[in-house]
Structure 1
Amino acid sequence: MFGWRKNKIEENTLDIISPVPGQVVGLEQVPDEAFSTKAMGEGFAVQPIQGEVRAPFPGKISHIMNRSNHAILLENEAGIQILIHVGVDTVSLKGDGFVPHVVTGQTVKQGELLLEFDIARIQEAGLSDITSVIVPGGQEKVQRIEGLQDEDAVLRIYY
C-alpha cells in the first residue's frame, strides 16, 4: 500500500527572472561562440537598456570577477548556480565602467543591486553590451532547464 509514493520523483524548481532591464533574446544572438553555441551552458541573453544587474533570486555570491567585475556567479540555497556575464570581451576593460555592489560570499535578496555597468563605456570601446545569463553545465543537481513564455520569469530550472 502506498508504494507509488516511493517511485515519485520530487522536483524543485528555480525560476529565473531577467537580472538586467532590457530585451530578452536567445543565446544565439550573443556574438561570442562560447555563449551562442551553448558551450558554457543553457540560458538566455538580454540587450540592456539600463546598466544594472539585480539578483534574479535570493542567494549567495559564489564569485565576482575581481579586477574586471564584468561577471557574477550567483547560487541559490540548494546550490544551483547561474552566471551573469555582462558584455562580450568586457574583461578587456579591466573594470573600467563596472561598479560592483556585492562581494564574494555575500548573501543577497531577490531584486538587490549586484552591479552597475556603463553601457556607453562598453560601446565606446567597440564591445557588445549584450548580457548572458547562463546555467553553467556540469551541475549534477540540475535535471532539466525550460524556457518560459512568462512576463516575469524567463527560465525554469528543475532540480
Structure 2
Amino acid sequence: MFGWKKKKIEVNTLDIISPIPGEVVNLEQVPDEAFSTKAMGEGFAVRPVKGEVRAPFSGEISHIMNKSKHALLLENEAGIQVLIHVGVDTVSLKGEGFTSHVITGQRVEQGQLLLEFDIAKIKEAGLSDITSVIVPHGQEKVQRIESLQEAEAALRIYY
C-alpha cells in the first residue's frame, strides 16, 4: 500500500573472468604470502597454459608497471580496480620475457590483449608463473565479493 515510501536499492555487479588461459585455483595456492593470505585483497589465481593476459572486462588501464611489465591495474567505469600480477617475484626479471600492449590511461575492451609473457623464461629463472587476480582492499564502493563456479567467471563484485 505504501510502496512509494520504499527506497529502491540499486546493486551493480562486475564479473571477473580469467584473464589468462589456464586452470583457475584458489589464492591460497600462490607461493607468496601477500597473495595467499589475502593481505592484498580477495581474488583467485591462474596456472597459465599460454602467456597472454587479456582484459577480463572493459575499462581503463589505471596503472602498469612500465619497467617490469609484470603487473597492471584495470578499472571499470564505476571505478572498481582489479590487479593482475603475473608470476611470483617476476619484478626481478626487469621486463625480460614480458611485452606490454597497453599504456596507463588507455581504454581497453573485454578480451583485448594487454600483456604477453614467456612462461619458459619465468620458469628458467626459478620463479613461479602462477598469476594472481586481485580486488585490492580499500575500495569503498565494493560491497562484497563472491567466488563463482560458473564456466568463465571466477569472481562477482557487488558495488
Shorter-chain TM-score category? over 0.9
Distance 1:158 1:47 in 2: 26
Cα distance in 1 between the residues matched to 2:5 and 2:88: 49
Distance of aligned partners of 1:4 and 1:151 in 2 relative to their CA distance in 1, 3 Å threshold = farther
Alignment coverage as a number of residue pairs: 158
Match of 1:2 in 2: 3
Shift of 1:4: 5.1
SS of the residue 2:91 aligns to: helix
CA distance in 2, matches of 1:9, 1:67: 43
**Counterpart in 2 of 1:152?**
152
Partner of 1:40: 40
Which TM-score applies when normalising by structure 2? 0.98
Q: How does 1:92-111 map to 2 (within 5 A)?
A: 92-111=92-111
Paired amino acid for 2:133: V
Matches of residues 118-133 of structure 1 in structure 2 within 5 Å?
A: 118-133=118-133
CA displacement at 1:2 relative to structure 2: 1.9
Deviations along 1:48-100, whole A, 9 cap, x unmatched? Answer: 00000000000000000010000010000000000000000000000000000
Could you tell me which runs of 5 or more consecutive residues in structure 1 were left unpaired when the two chains were aligned: none
Distance 2:133 2:154 in 1: 10
CA distance in 2, matches of 1:4, 1:85: 46
Stretches of structure 2 lacking an aligned partner (at least 5 in a row): none
Q: Which string of whole-angstrom CA distances, capped at 9 and with x for unpartnered residues, describes residues 101-145 of structure 1? A: 000000000000000000000000000000000000000000000
C-alpha separation in 2, matches of 1:89 and 1:42: 19
Mapped partners of 1:129, 1:3: distance in 2: 54
1:16 paired residue number:
16
Aligned to 1:89: 89
CA deviation after TM superposition for structure 1 residue 10, in Å: 1.3
**Cα separation, 1, equivalents of 2:112 and 2:6:** 39
Root mean square deviation of aligned Cα = 0.8
Q: Percent identity?
A: 79
Letter in 1 for 2:140: E
Task: Rate the CA distance shift 1:3–1:129 in 2: closer, same or farther, 3 A.
Answer: same
Alignment TM-score, normalising by the size of structure 1: 0.98
Partner of 1:63: helix, strand, or coil?
Answer: strand
